[in-house]
A = this chain, B = another copy of it.
Amino acid sequence: MPEQWTSETAHRRAPAATQEDVARELGISRTLVSLALRDRPGVSASMRQRILETADRLGYRRNSLAAELAQRQRTAVGLHLLDAHNDVYTTILSSVQAVIAPAGRRLVLAVNSRSGRDDPQPRNTLLEANVGVIISATSVAPDDEVRALNRILPVVLVARRVEGVDSVYVDHDVGARAAVEHLAGLGHTRIAHLTGPSFEGHTQRRAGYLEAMRSLGLTPEIATNPGFAREEAFGAARALLDRPASERPTAVFTHNDELALAVREAAADLGLRVPEDLSVVGFDNSRAAGLTGVDLTTVDIRGDELGRAAAEAAIRRLEHPGVPPLQRGFTPSLVVRRSTAPPRGV
């Protein structure tokens, strides 16, 4: 602290009171204070009462970090998010919070600095923050790395499945197939897929698309975008659509809703109407997809159930470290809204 501030006592804060302070005030031992504050047996009712009052009067706040250190425990939950802008992650975040907070645990958050890229920093922050478990809602690391991390600190995977690691997963391929079949059922044949970067945890949607196209006897076309965020997908989306009507796909199925939003924008930019000129199906059923005026047909991964289940799995892992890995699957379902229709001339 620089010398020049030393005189500004107005903004100085008194150091927080500790158990030591409470004990000294009462002329008793720290042990008693600790016990009383945590409502543990071994303190007389009257003494407990006096301790509580004094603690209150002194403005005592428990330092839960010191407590954890002393207890050789890790009670905090780390949450690793790929991208805080995508509201699927936000939904997951708040449903995780909805379970973690009432359980009296703290949530340490780490977000990748750049969407759609791997980034070692969040993981390190979480490891050093002494969390007891990491909920990972980012499918960017290879399976082996996930397993390696899981050997150091328990990991709970969200929307992804890795053998040997707690996984609250989604059958992405089932969802992708439903999307393609919906489109084909409408009469589309030129159904393109806009995908994101090829991380190991992210290939299932594309695989489902390919498989569905193949089994329907249709020719797949895949365009790849370097990231997962809407803002950086406009170019790829436009490139996909900017060609003669006879060659242009009549429907686009995207890796996630963010990319679908970009496709809608690109379509609007090219004067194509959705769904009259172009059908669009997203993935995730993010909050944005359901907005009046957006009305995006999409595959619902039930982000809030996923988040809740992940948080519960995290707490379970913390309470029973030795329990076998959880593998809990959710089946996604197609939500048909207004961004899909039969192609022109059908």
Contacts and interface: CB of A to CB of B under 8 A. Distances in A.
Interface stretch (A42-50, A178-186, A316-324): A316-324
Contact of A322 (B11, B61, B63, B151): B11
Interface stretch (A19-27, A90-98, A167-175, A242-250): A90-98
A62 B125 CA distance: 10
A130 B85 contact: no
Contact of A12 (B2, B287, B320, B322): B322
Interface residues of A, number: 66
A128 interface: yes
A270 to B, nearest CB: 13
A8 interface: yes
Contacts of A61: 127-128, 152
A202 B113 CA distance: 32
Contact of A129 (B1, B106, B324): B106
A76 B324 CA distance: 34
Q: Which of A16, A90, A152 has the most CB of B within 10 A?
A: A90
A225 B121 CA distance: 42
Interface of A: 1-2, 5-6, 8, 11-13, 16, 59, 61-66, 68-69, 76, 79, 84-85, 87, 90-91, 93-94, 97-98, 101-102, 106-111, 113, 121-122, 125, 127-130, 151-154, 261, 264-265, 268, 287-288, 291-295, 320-325
The 3 closest A-B CB pairs, nearest first, are A5-B322, A84-B94, A293-B293
